[in-house]
């Protein structure tokens, strides 16, 4: 779906228009091959340079062409629980002499937020629009990482009651953080290249904003790295808890088996077709039963003191 927005300093509100206009923002969400071919025809870029916008695993990077600049970035996917192994969403930004273009494979909350904040955004100022976009991406990573850390950290003191579901949740959260790191590290390099001004001309105010985005991205990288280490530490401690539980269960079953083996052995001996003590005594059953109970009790006390029960 292609949307075209336009706003300059004379307009109070960003306006959605029907035709491509110089200085407009062309937004494509749920992008398909036909949409990319239209953009290639409009901008003069090669379709082969644009088709990577449909690859969800494309690494963040920046490409310079005669027709403009293509910037591949990854943004957090807030619906990651509903999508298998897709915790980030690729967004492709294109800046030409006439247009600012954003391409997303899925509906993107960052784009929706920028459209809602249209009063403070001029589509004719393409470099500033780019900086605003990157700033929103960096803030989104910070927000999502804080939410995930809020879910993970309460499990730190949960060792005594840890369950299999807790382990699976930690593995999932670790995968989210790892995928964030996979995107954040090259994304930081892209932001630094833009801040250097080699690919996009930035004004003084824009330079200050891009520095803020770089700080946010660095914080996101640090928080994600710390969170991965914390999760690994938690999983190791949980593994120790499960191992101790297993050892205690094995000890209990071993002790219980030994206690049950005693009456089995005595009953087997007295079940032989040979002459045995108390064989002719009318109280033999009571004597044997009492002796068996005493021996089993002695072993039970022994195992209890050894804390096998």
DSSP 295: H
Confidence check: pLDDT of 240 > 70? yes
CA angle 186, 78, 1 (to 5 degrees): 85
Is residue 275, in this structure, part of any structural domain at all?
yes
pLDDT at res. 198: 72
Residue 279: pLDDT band (50, 70, 90) is low
Task: Provide the CATH number for the domain around residue 287.
Answer: 1.20.58
* 251-273 residue pLDDT tens: 888 888 888 888 888 777 777 76
pLDDT at res. 82: 42
Is residue 203, in this structure, part of any structural domain at all?
no
Instruction: Give the separation between CA 248 and CA 241, rounded to whole angstroms.
Output: 11
Query: What's the whole-model pTM score?
Result: 0.75
pLDDT at res. 168: 81
Handedness of CA 133, 135, 139, 142 (dihedral sign): positive
pLDDT at res. 102: 92
Closest CA to 37 of 45, 5, 67: 45
Closest CA to 182 of 41, 290, 86: 86
Tokens of 161: 């009651």
H or E element, residue 228: helix 204-270
Is residue 79, in this structure, part of any structural domain at all?
yes
Strand order in the sheet with 88-95: 15-17, 2-6, 25-28, 100-104, 88-95, 68-76, 61-65
pLDDT at res. 118: 62
**3-class SS letters over 16-56:** EECCCCCCCEEEECCCCHHHHHHHHHHHCCCHHHHHHHHCC
Confidence check: pLDDT of 39 > 60? yes
pLDDT at res. 288: 76
SS3 of 225, please? helix
Instruction: Give the separation between CA 171 and CA 228, rounded to whole angstroms.
Output: 10
First to last CA, the chain: 67
Is residue 33, in this structure, part of any structural domain at all?
yes
* 176-191 residue pLDDT tens: 898 899 889 898 888 8
Instruction: Give the separation between CA 24 and CA 4, rounded to whole angstroms.
Output: 7
Is residue 156, in this structure, part of any structural domain at all?
no
Of 121, 145, 174, which residue constitutes the final position of a domain? 121
Is residue 230, in this structure, part of any structural domain at all?
no
> CA of 5: how far to CAs of 44, 110, 127, 132, in Å?
21, 16, 16, 16
Confidence check: pLDDT of 16 > 50? yes
* 50-101 residue pLDDT tens: 888 888 888 898 888 888 899 999 888 766 544 446 788 889 999 988 889 9
Q: Structural domain of residue 299, as residue ranges?
A: 244-305
Residue 212: pLDDT band (50, 70, 90) is confident
Task: Provide the CATH number for the domain around residue 36.
Answer: 3.30.460.20
Is residue 181, in this structure, part of any structural domain at all?
no
pLDDT at res. 83: 47
Residue written as token pair 């937020």: 113
CB 177, CB 231: distance < 8 Å: yes
Please give the full DSSP string across 72-123, using - where no structure is assigned.
EEEEE-TTGGGSTT--EEEEEEEE-SS-EEEEESS--HHHHHHHHTGGG--T
Instruction: Give the separation between CA 103 and CA 29, rounded to whole angstroms.
Output: 6
* 124-179 residue pLDDT tens: 888 888 888 888 888 889 988 888 888 777 756 665 567 777 778 888 888 889 88
Of 80, 100, 121, which residue constitutes the final position of a domain? 121
Is residue 113, in this structure, part of any structural domain at all?
yes
When divided into structural domains, the chain yields a total of 2
Instruction: Give the separation between CA 108 and CA 67, rounded to whole angstroms.
Output: 26
Residue 120: pLDDT band (50, 70, 90) is low
H or E element, residue 176: helix 164-195
Of 102, 121, 140, which residue constitutes the final position of a domain? 121
Residue 211: pLDDT band (50, 70, 90) is confident
């Amino acid at each position: 779906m292609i949307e075209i927005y336009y706003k300059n300093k004379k307009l109070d509100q960003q306006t959605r228009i029907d035709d491509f206009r110089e200085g407009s923002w062309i937004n494509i969400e749920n992008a398909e091959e036909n949409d990319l071919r239209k953009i290639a025809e409009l901008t003069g870029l090669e379709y082969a340079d644009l088709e990577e916008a449909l690859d969800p695993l494309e690494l963040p990077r920046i490409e310079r062409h005669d027709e403009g600049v293509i910037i591949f970035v990854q943004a957090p996917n807030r619906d990651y629980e509903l999508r298998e192994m897709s915790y980030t969403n690729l967004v492709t930004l294109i800046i030409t002499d006439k247009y600012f273009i954003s391409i997303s494979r899925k509906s993107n909350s960052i784009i929706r937020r920028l459209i809602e904040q249209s009063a403070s955004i001029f589509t004719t100022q393409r470099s500033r629009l780019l900086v605003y976009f990157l700033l929103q991406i960096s803030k989104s990573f910070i927000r999502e990482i804080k939410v995930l850390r809020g879910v993970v950290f309460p499990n730190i003191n949960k060792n005594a009651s840890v369950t299999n579901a807790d382990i699976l949740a930690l593995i999932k959260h670790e995968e989210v953080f790892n995928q964030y790191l996979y995107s954040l590290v090259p994304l930081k390099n892209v932001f630094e290249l833009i801040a250097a001004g080699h690919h996009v001309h930035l004004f003084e105010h824009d330079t200050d904003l891009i520095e803020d985005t770089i700080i946010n991205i660095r914080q996101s990288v640090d928080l994600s790295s710390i969170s991965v280490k914390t999760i690994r530490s938690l999983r190791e401690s949980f593994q120790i808890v499960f191992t101790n539980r297993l050892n205690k269960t094995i000890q209990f079953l071993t002790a219980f088996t030994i206690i049950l083996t005693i009456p089995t052995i005595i009953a087997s001996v007295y079940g032989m077709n040979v002459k045995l003590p108390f064989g002719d005594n009318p109280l033999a059953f009571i004597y044997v039963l009492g002796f068996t109970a005493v021996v089993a009790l002695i072993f039970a006390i022994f195992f209890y003191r050894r804390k096998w029960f």
